[in-house]
Structure 1
Amino acid sequence: MRLKLVSLVIILSGLSACSTTEKPTKTTENLSSANSSSQIQATDAQSLYQLALNRQGVDQIQLLYSARDAAITEQQWPLLEQICTELERTPSVDQVQNKLYIAFAQKQQNKNTAALEILASLDNQLTQPEHFAWHQYLTASVYASQNLPKEAMEYFFRASETASKNNLTIPQLNHDLWHNLQQLSSYALERFNRGSVVQQGWVNLALYHQVYLGAPVELDQAINNWQRRYPGHPAIDVLPKKAAELIAITPLTIERLVVLLPQSGANQRLGDALKAGVLAALDNAAIDETIFIDEMLSPEELTVKLHEAQPSFVIGPLLKGNIDKFAASKTLLDYPVLHLNTADAERQSPQHYYFALNPEHEVQQALEHFLTVGYQKPMLLAPNNSTGQRLVDFFNVQWQRYSETTPEVGLYNDKKDMPTTIISLLEVDKSKERVASVKSLFKQEVESETRSRRDIDVIYILGDAMETRLIKPYLDVNVSTFADRIPLYASSKSHSKQIDSTDKGDLEGLYFTELPWMLSGQIADHSLRQQYNSLWPDQADISQRLFAMAYDSVAMLSNITQLSMIPGKRFNGLTGQLSITSDGQVNRHLDWAQYKDRQIQAVQLQTTAPMPLFMQSATTLSNSE
């Protein structure tokens, strides 16, 4: 917290330096002796602000400046906004600079819409390089604070270019730009590799770090070449420390691996699937020894076995209850661990990671695709149980970040309840009532066609394979023939290799997310799938998914430190494109596929980071001016 406070004071002092209006000189000649005594006693922001309200002219401005500085030191962001609003009433104050202060105060309060509106209103007033550089930096900071690195990057680059060209100093700019740049994938970096020399220098440095990460000699040579190519580049400020850190991230060497999985009890079958995946991956891993231990042991028993094994790394356990149990007993605290599930307990160590086949990953991916395409009114169909309700709630919370519309939700209790739920959501029942009412007015036969509601533009099914096969025909017959067909999407739960071997026709046109391992031709090592099919031709879907998960757990181990430190880095696995978040969670981006002509075909569906509502309103304001 102390370092953060010092950083904020430095940043805002830099912003003060860009003012073109000379501040009143801090001398006792400007104030009476009584006033001087009052100001000395009043050192906190609120007291200085109250004193200023009772003064006029130069005295008042001086006190407001002092109050503003104190508010920054105390991190009193509402008060800072209030002080700057008071300064705004004084014609002699640099109004552009003052508005930049207000925008900063609003950003610190997460009032992002208001901050961007102020910044957008200054677009035509940024005649001074200092103002423009700070404006771009603050705009970038708003986007970066909302985990929108691509949107932030353009503003960061312009701030850096302006500061470099005009020899300006903006504390934290280079650090924040570099941190944001590291959030991007290599593909995104390539798209930014254009424009000014300053921009290309930043991008190429980030690309070198990704390409040569874990190869100290090659990275050192690449950085030396970069320095010769971009002499005097502002990235020099972050280079020495960052280069040393990244050169130190060599691939992880594991001499002895311990794998915790259920080897007894009701979940032994799941443990067998995991063990098969681990053994398959070990063929290509430089691991000297692997020891399998039953995760159903007590913490005391496991502690003894771990002490005997002295593992370099631990994979597991699988069951969430065991993860929480060992967390409570601190059994795994001193070992680097890749858990095979999420945990309710807090992360105990930066060496602990969590890898789960989390359905929320797929829901987020589908939601981002819907927004990219421009769908406005989705309808969700899910089982009326804890899992279905959890996924619906997750979708709704995320959707409200980006859209003012509310998704329609249908929760069904069983297969008998599905037709009623669908008919009610699509308002087909109301159409039938209207048809019946019209027919009652005529003696002759009246030709009619029921109509479904027209505002639903996409349907997302969150049921399992059997439920999806029952839902799809109901949707086909209850969507009005006068309307365009509503696109249908589902998660990987809808896909079953066992069921698909005999029946694909009922799902014609359905899009779904899936592990590459579960789609024919979607993995680089085709021989691995052939070997698996020959050894276990009739394995259940869950066993196949756990095999792929265990395989990826071993395959990604040598890169796990790099993945955790470089957010833009990805690992192409059997379970999807894997990355690691700052809290140690392994995130997955799955493949898309579609049922078409009684076959499953891999498809490429457009997905970009959606624009939050606060950005949409600010963009609209900017475009209207």
Structure 2
Amino acid sequence: MKTLNFVLPAFIALLLSACSNAPMKPHPPSEPIQEIPKQPPTADELIQEANESGSLAYSAELKLQAARLLTDNQEPARAFAVYSEISPRYLSPDHLRHYILLGLKLAVDQDSIEMAQQLLDMRGDQFEHTGAEQQGEYAWLVAKALSLSGQHYLAAQKRILSANLYSDEEYWNNHELIWKNLRLSSLEQLVAIPAPDETNNELTGWIELARAIKQNMFSLDKQLRALIQWQGDWPDHPAARHLPGELNLLATLPDLRPERITVALPLSGKLERAGKSILEGFLAAFYNDTQQSASQTRLSIIDTSKSANIRELVESIHLTSPGLVIGPLRKTLVEQLASYPDYKYKTITLNYTLPEEGITESGIYQFGLSFQDELNQIAEQAWLENVRSTLIFCPNNNWGQRTCNQLESVWLAKNGIVSDIKLFDPKKQHTFFIEEALKVNQSKARKRELQMVIGEQLEFEPRRRQDIDAIFLIANSVNGRQIKPLLSFYYAGNLPVYATSTIYSGKPEPTRNLDLSNIMFTETPWVLNTANPTRHAIEQAWPKLASKYTRLFALGTDAFLLSSRLPLLEQIPDIYIPGNSGLLSLKSNRQIHRHLEWATFEKGNAIVMTDKH
């Protein structure tokens, strides 16, 4: 046992000695501790921190960051809500500029005219000493906001004065938008503009170009002569060196005019007067153009009422070898023509199939005085003006009920609220109808009940319903003259009233129309422009037709206008052509739609509203 006790320690010592003499393997270097990258705060976290902050300035800054983040994340509704909580007076100058830029973007994206106007009213000089990129962004958004609110000339002016802030593709996009804004400006507005500063030749040149084109808009040849003259007067102007796309195409249109046009309209039977009114409008525009040009276009005229069926009508058209057909007018013929096998002629019908349907596989285009255009425009304008809940009045007949349903569908599609639809008897007085529609009768009933409970007479002013922002009125002038004063009498005089062209007879009657004051309505330029020489000449020649069918004269003149301008609509997206029945545009389904002017009654006279679009 003693030997063992000695050997074991010796063995261990020897082992340790051997280990100490062996080469040491180095330890691998220790890995540095990786820090988890800090995630940027979410919009919700920023909002929570802002609400908990005791600093108004810091809270405003955090909410601005949150609104920008929500905008980048494609959450415009939430961004809009957060943005509206920001108090700009607490923001630093740099943050205030970002606040204005973000607000303009949200206003344009959300079609909020009210918000856009509030931001346009803020001082913009704080961008004067910033970098060119931020100045350019601000100018671009201001121009878009001005366009949104219908201030097209001011939008064009802003684009012209800021053009040097852009380069390459941005510059030429701005170049095209300058012309688009000027084209959408009214001729009256362009003519009334004071002479610009002589040092700003670019602005002056653009204005002169717009005047030259718009003063001759119903004669293609006069427009081209005016364009050539302008190019000679302004050879160094940016628009002369690089014509906007529309004007470049305009120069090619004379070569594209059809050599023969066939007009197919009902010139006898039930639709005789309607057909003749359209024809007279077409002929007036045709002969006026012929006097101004070297056009050799020949006309053929077919009475569609004499064709027993669609096959006979197509055969009659075929015999005239047309380059373009205008018509038919009757809806059933339009529907049959749309499905006719192997029909090969380019055609502009003067009625539609179903409102949102089109004919995309042939050369048939649909055009007419569609009431749907007016309903869409009323809904669009009301929505832009922050109307959300409406009360709709329509006559209690088949047409009125159908129109009410169409307007309700349009408004609901915009996420609007229809608080109620009320149908009135067009042959009766409307006193009780309006009282009931505004629920004033319920307010009076509550007063009576309360008096019975307390046994005393009360001083009391009835109240109307409070769940509506505006009224949509579908009525003729006779019913409108009764309804509008009753709205005021029953405490709804402060509600905006939007109406269609049916509210106006088309004849100046200032004394009778005093009761229509402040109603806003859609109307054709033909009716509102009493100085139109073509209208004056036609109505002098056809006074009986003019009293009832004056808007159909406008349709006829625009049918001829389209015969030479259709390539513009086909080749330039989003273009509007100014016509007598409205601004004309082509949709993807080959339907030509009208955007009418807005008017209101002042002292009984129909006055164009230039602040609406």
- TM-score by length of structure 2 reads 0.60
Report the 3-state secondary structure (helix = DSSP H, G, I; strand = E; otherwise coil) of the residue aligned with 1:440.
helix
Pair 143,334 (structure 1): closer, same or farther in 2 beyond 3 Å:
farther
Superposed, which structure 2 residues align to 1:485-500 within 5 Å? 486=495, 488-496=497-505
Shift of 1:532: 1.9
User: Is 1:290 aligned to 2:300, yes or no?
Assistant: yes
Superposed, which structure 2 residues align to 1:120-135 within 5 Å? 120=98, 131-132=133-134, 135=137
> Equivalents in 1 of 2:486, 2:598: separation in Å?
27
Asked whether the equivalents of residues 369 and 606 of structure 1 are also in contact (C-alpha less than 8 Å), the reply is no
Asked whether the equivalents of residues 256 and 312 of structure 1 are also in contact (C-alpha less than 8 Å), the reply is yes
Superposed, which structure 2 residues align to 1:138-153 within 5 Å? 150=152
Shift of 1:461: 1.0
Query: 1:380 pairs with 384, 389, 392, which one?
Result: 392
User: Is 1:316 aligned to 2:321, yes or no?
Assistant: no
Give the match for residue 585 of structure 2: 580
Give the match for residue 88 of structure 2: none
AA paired with 2:452?
S
Shift of 1:436: 0.7
Superposed, which structure 2 residues align to 1:12-161 within 5 Å? 120=98, 131-132=133-134, 135=137, 150=152, 160-161=163-164
> Equivalents in 1 of 2:365, 2:309: separation in Å?
22
Report the 3-state secondary structure (helix = DSSP H, G, I; strand = E; otherwise coil) of the residue aligned with 1:341.
coil
Shift of 1:437: 1.9
Give the match for residue 394 of structure 1: 410
Superposed, which structure 2 residues align to 1:302-341 within 5 Å? 302-329=313-340, 333-335=344-346, 337-341=347-351
Query: 1:174 pairs with 165, 171, 184, which one?
Result: 171
Asked whether the equivalents of residues 216 and 250 of structure 1 are also in contact (C-alpha less than 8 Å), the reply is no
Pair 601,143 (structure 1): closer, same or farther in 2 beyond 3 Å:
closer
Shift of 1:135: 4.2
Give the match for residue 87 of structure 2: none
> Equivalents in 2 of 1:127, 1:556: separation in Å?
48
| Rg comparison, structure with higher value | 2
Asked whether the equivalents of residues 136 and 165 of structure 2 are also in contact (C-alpha less than 8 Å), the reply is no
AA paired with 1:579?
L
AA paired with 1:320?
K
> Equivalents in 1 of 2:159, 2:75: separation in Å?
19
Listed one character per residue, the Cα deviations across residues 203-227 of structure 1 (whole Å, up to 9, x for unaligned) are 6666666678755565345335434
- TM-score by length of structure 1 reads 0.59
> Equivalents in 1 of 2:513, 2:163: separation in Å?
56
Give the match for residue 433 of structure 1: 445
AA paired with 2:173?
D
Asked whether the equivalents of residues 501 and 522 of structure 2 are also in contact (C-alpha less than 8 Å), the reply is yes
Report the 3-state secondary structure (helix = DSSP H, G, I; strand = E; otherwise coil) of the residue aligned with 2:180.
coil
AA paired with 1:246?
L
User: Is 1:219 aligned to 2:227, yes or no?
Assistant: yes
Pair 322,520 (structure 1): closer, same or farther in 2 beyond 3 Å:
same
Asked whether the equivalents of residues 260 and 323 of structure 2 are also in contact (C-alpha less than 8 Å), the reply is yes
Superposed, which structure 2 residues align to 1:128-277 within 5 Å? 131-132=133-134, 135=137, 150=152, 160-163=163-166, 169-170=167-168, 172-186=169-183, 187=185, 190=190, 214=221, 216=224, 219-220=227-228, 222-223=230-231, 225-228=233-236, 230=237, 238-239=242-243, 244-250=248-254, 253=257, 255-262=259-266, 267=271, 270-277=274-281
User: Is 1:594 aligned to 2:601, yes or no?
Assistant: yes
Shift of 1:294: 1.2
Pair 495,145 (structure 1): closer, same or farther in 2 beyond 3 Å:
closer
Give the gaps of 5 or more residues in structure 1. Answer: 1-53, 58-101, 164-168, 610-625
Listed one character per residue, the Cα deviations across residues 134-189 of structure 1 (whole Å, up to 9, x for unaligned) are 746985898799999959767855774124xxxxx54x223422332332244379
Pair 157,523 (structure 1): closer, same or farther in 2 beyond 3 Å:
closer
Give the gaps of 5 or more residues in structure 2. Answer: 1-33, 38-66, 84-94, 102-125, 291-296
Report the 3-state secondary structure (helix = DSSP H, G, I; strand = E; otherwise coil) of the residue aligned with 1:587.
strand
> Equivalents in 2 of 1:412, 1:311: separation in Å?
47
> Equivalents in 1 of 2:506, 2:232: separation in Å?
52
Count of matched residue positions in the alignment of Structure 1 and Structure 2 = 483
Query: 2:421 pairs with 410, 421, 425, which one?
Result: 410
> Equivalents in 1 of 2:554, 2:240: separation in Å?
42
Pair 270,420 (structure 1): closer, same or farther in 2 beyond 3 Å:
same
Report the 3-state secondary structure (helix = DSSP H, G, I; strand = E; otherwise coil) of the residue aligned with 1:318.
coil
Pair 264,103 (structure 1): closer, same or farther in 2 beyond 3 Å:
farther
Aligned residues with identical type, % of pairs: 21
Shift of 1:387: 1.9
> Equivalents in 1 of 2:140, 2:518: separation in Å?
44
Give the match for residue 608 of structure 2: 604
Report the 3-state secondary structure (helix = DSSP H, G, I; strand = E; otherwise coil) of the residue aligned with 1:412.
strand
> Equivalents in 1 of 2:360, 2:309: separation in Å?
19
AA paired with 2:559?
S
Give the match for residue 528 of structure 1: 538
AA paired with 1:494?
I
Report the 3-state secondary structure (helix = DSSP H, G, I; strand = E; otherwise coil) of the residue aligned with 1:183.
helix
> Equivalents in 1 of 2:173, 2:69: separation in Å?
15
Shift of 1:464: 4.4
Asked whether the equivalents of residues 372 and 606 of structure 1 are also in contact (C-alpha less than 8 Å), the reply is no
Report the 3-state secondary structure (helix = DSSP H, G, I; strand = E; otherwise coil) of the residue aligned with 1:603.
strand
Shift of 1:309: 0.3
AA paired with 1:183?
K
Asked whether the equivalents of residues 333 and 349 of structure 1 are also in contact (C-alpha less than 8 Å), the reply is no
Asked whether the equivalents of residues 471 and 496 of structure 2 are also in contact (C-alpha less than 8 Å), the reply is yes
